[in-house]
């Protein structure tokens, strides 16, 4: 993963002394190079908790050195490697506040986003982390366009949006099953309005058609169906919606020279729902 690959390469610097072999962290004053080297060795050996503590010692003992700034970012990275996401985020927020113009601040923003992204849970649970990941990934793409971090963040943004859309779909289906039609429509509309580039949009439109028909709102159902047919003429959801509003008739083949079909004409004559 990009988050784990790039930071050591960016911040690795030749060490000035041999590594400590003590298992217990002591606060003995040491030259900055020795201390930083000890911390980096612990990172290499995957002793992430100790590495974070040693990087903190670099800053404590040598707060005005160039190593102190690097050590702050490396301490956050060590927490991340140790799956201590909350500690990493706190350290990254502090780093960003103290060093907004640092050459690797783009990585700090990116790593913060990844800390949220890797905590995204399955759609049956609360999606607060997904929302936070979405906000942080958006910030990376906005602040650092064209960078490797922004490119990767853009990919993950789509996955995060798809995840949130899936959550809304799950809730919408639940309300639909319970025949709480208006609540179901609101959830499906949330997908259509906020996550229209995700894979869930065709199903959301078709289910809106079902709910409107259940409420006896045929005109609204036709409007929703027209949007579905105009944008997704080859989908299974289009064929289902067409059948629902056309008394069981089969949708015309989109390859027949009338690819937008009847719903395409409806799109031009009916205002969006």
Is 69 a domain residue?
A: yes
Query: What does the pLDDT look like over 234-250, one tens digit per residue?
Result: 999 999 999 999 876 66
How far is it, in rounded angstroms, from Cα 34 to Cα 20?
8
| Residue in the block written with tokens 């985020």 | 89
Position 129 pLDDT exceeds 50: yes
Q: Is residue 187 part of a domain?
A: yes
Last residue of a domain, one of 79, 98, 117: 98
Among 75, 98, 121, the domain-final residue is 98
Mean predicted confidence (pLDDT) in 65-78: 92
- Asked if 218 and 241 touch (Cβ cutoff 8 Å), the reply is no
Which CB contacts under 8 angstroms, 24+ apart, belong to 207-215? 207/172, 207/173, 207/176, 208/273, 209/241, 209/244, 209/245, 210/176, 210/244, 211/176, 211/181, 211/184, 211/185, 212/185, 213/244, 213/245, 214/179, 214/181, 215/181, 215/182
Same domain, 94 and 170: no
Tell me what pLDDT residue 125 has. Answer: 65
* Whether residue 174 sits in one domain with residue 90: no
Question: Which of these, 32, 42, 35, 43, lies nearest to 8 by C-alpha position?
Answer: 43
The number of folded domains in the chain is: 2
Decide if 231 is inside a domain: yes
Helix (H, G, I), strand (E, B) or coil at 56: helix
Residue 84 lies in a domain: yes
The answer to whether residue 263 scores a pLDDT higher than 60 is no
Task: Write the CA distances from 146 to 140, 161, 178, integer angstroms.
Answer: 10, 21, 47
Does a structural domain hold residue 148?
no
pLDDT of 221 over the 60 cut? yes
Residues 170 and 261 in one domain: yes
- Report if residue 193 sits inside a domain: yes
Which domain does 264 fall in, by range? 165-269
Asked if 50 and 144 count as a contact pair (C-beta separation under 8 A), the reply is no
Residue 200 half-sphere exposure toward CB, CA atoms < 13 A: 26
Residue 88 lies in a domain: yes
pLDDT beyond 60 at 222? yes
**What average pLDDT does the segment 75-98 reach?**
96
Residue 146 lies in a domain: no
* CATH number of the structural domain spanning residue 32: 1.25.40.10
């Amino acid at each position: 993963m990009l988050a784990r690959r790039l930071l050591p390469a960016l911040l690795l610097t030749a060490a000035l002394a041999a590594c400590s072999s003590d298992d217990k962290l002591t606060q003995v004053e040491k030259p900055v190079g020795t201390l930083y080297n000890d911390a980096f060795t612990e990172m290499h050996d995957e002793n992430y908790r100790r590495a974070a503590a040693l990087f903190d010692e670099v800053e404590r003992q040598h707060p005005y050195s160039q190593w102190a700034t690097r050590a702050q970012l490396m301490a956050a990275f060590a927490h991340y490697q140790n799956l201590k996401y909350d500690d990493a985020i706190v350290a990254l927020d502090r780093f960003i506040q103290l060093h907004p113009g640092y050459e690797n601040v783009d990585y700090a923003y990116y790593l913060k986003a990844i800390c949220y992204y890797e905590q995204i849970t399955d759609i049956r649970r609360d999606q607060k982390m997904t929302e936070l990941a979405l906000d942080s990934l958006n910030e990376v793409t906005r602040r650092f366009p064209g960078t490797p971090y922004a490119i990767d963040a853009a990919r993950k943004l789509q996955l995060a949006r798809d995840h949130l859309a899936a959550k809304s779909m799950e809730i919408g289906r639940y309300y639909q099953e319970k025949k709480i039609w208006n609540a179901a429509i609101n959830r499906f509309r949330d997908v259509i309005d906020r996550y229209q580039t995700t894979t869930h949009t065709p199903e959301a439109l078709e289910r809106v058609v079902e709910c409107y028909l259940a409420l006896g709102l045929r005109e609204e159902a036709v409007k929703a169906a027209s949007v579905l047919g105009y944008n997704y003429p080859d989908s299974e959801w289009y064929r289902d919606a067409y059948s629902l509003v056309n008394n069981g008739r089969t949708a015309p083949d989109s390859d027949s020279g009338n690819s937008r079909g009847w719903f395409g004409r409806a799109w031009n004559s009916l205002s969006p729902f």
